[in-house]
Amino acid sequence: MGEFFKKNRPALLYAASLIFWLAVWQLAGALVNEQIFIASPLSVFERLLELMRTRDFYDSVLRTMGLICLGFALAAVLGSALGWLGCKSRAAKTLLSPIMGVIKATPVASFIILAFILVGSRRLSALIAFLMVLPVFYSNVLTALESLPARRFEAADVFGMLPRDRFRFIYLPGLAPYFLSASGIGLGMAWKSGVAAEVIGLAAGSIGRRLYEAKLNLDTAGLFAYTLVVVLLSLALEKLLRLLLERLESRLLKS
């Protein structure tokens, strides 16, 4: 028993913490005793099961997830490319620096309203997710590249290392931690900003629209249920992405 606890201690502690906060939530709901203000965990779970029996639920989840993942993927590719360009060219870095600073400093709500006027609500969540995640990948990749020791490249020049080997043994180990960090932070930001854009833009058939409708109908349990879905999807996709990136890194280093 002691060996089992020692081996699985982090998971058990996390589960205990989760149970504690669920109990606090249940107690708060019992004290307020008004489902319209605080829906209990049981009522939220029942509402979630009810929603999962409808086709609209899955359509909304798939639409929102697809658009947010699209915005995130585009930001990861373009942000990494711009980070590389900024490292290689001082002029490019100088040119890109104010733009990235403005994107990071501008309130998300301002971007959502401006983008809504320009592109409408249909793909608004993808655009907002893209804009919010772009500076994260740019700054992380730029920092990673600028942190690579110059002596490694000098040694590579001396031994005539091929470009492929330079990427595997110099760039990849230096980039991987920063890219993983950007992925974790960026994916969470993409979900938060993307769903917020759907709520403000009232995008048809989206999770954001369902959240807005739940608010109008005073369906607190439904509001909590859709919020729970967003949190679980964000966490699950972050774990899956991290696993895939770590396996890809391992395979590249071994090949």
What letter does residue 95 receive in the DSSP assignment? Answer: H
Structure tokens at 244: 């895939």
pLDDT tier at 156, thresholds 50, 70, 90 = low
Is it the case that residue 1 has pLDDT exceeding 60?
Answer: no
Q: What is the DSSP string of 28-88?
A: HHHHH--TTTS--HHHHHHHHHHHTTSHHHHHHHHHHHHHHHHHHHHHHHHHHHHHHHHHH
Which pLDDT band, with edges at 50, 70 and 90, does 40 fall under? confident
Q: Residue 214 carries which side chain, given as an amino acid letter?
A: A
Q: Report whether pLDDT(36) > 60.
A: yes
- Indicate the Cα dihedral angle 68, 72, 74, 79, nearest 10°: 150
Q: What is the pTM of this model?
A: 0.88
Q: What percent of the chain has pLDDT over 70?
A: 93
Mean pLDDT calculated for residue range 110-125: 87
Residue 93: per-residue pLDDT: 92
Give me the percent of the chain exceeding a pLDDT of 90: 50
pLDDT of residue 226: 95
Q: What is the mean pLDDT of residues 129-157?
A: 86
For position 5, what pLDDT does the model report? 63
The whole-number average pLDDT for the span 223-252 is 89
Closest CA to 194 of 82, 64, 76: 64
Rounded mean pLDDT, 58-80: 95
Q: H-helix or E-strand containing 5?
A: helix 2-7
* Region of residue 165 (phi > 0: left; psi between -120 and 50: alpha; otherwise: beta): alpha
The C-alpha atoms of residue 113 and residue 228 are separated, in whole angstroms, by: 26
pLDDT tens sequence across 189-201: 999 999 999 999 9
Contact 92, 138 (CB under 8 A): no
pLDDT in the model for residue 38: 80
For 206, list phi and psi in degrees, rounded to 5: -120, 165
Which is more confidently placed, 123 or 130? 130
In angstroms, the CA 243 to CA 251 distance is 12
Question: pLDDT class for 232, splitting at 50, 70, 90?
Answer: very high
What does the DSSP 8-state code read for residue 171? I
**pLDDT score at 210:** 94
Residues 9, 10, 11, 15: is their CA dihedral positive or negative? positive
Tell me the average pLDDT of the chain.
87
Q: How far is CA 111 from CA 119, 182, 200, in A?
A: 12, 21, 11
**What is the reported pLDDT for 29?**
76
Q: Check residue 121 and give its pLDDT.
A: 84
CB 73 within 8 A of CB 131: no
Mean pLDDT of 50-77: 95
Which residue type, as a one-letter code, is found at position 144? Answer: A
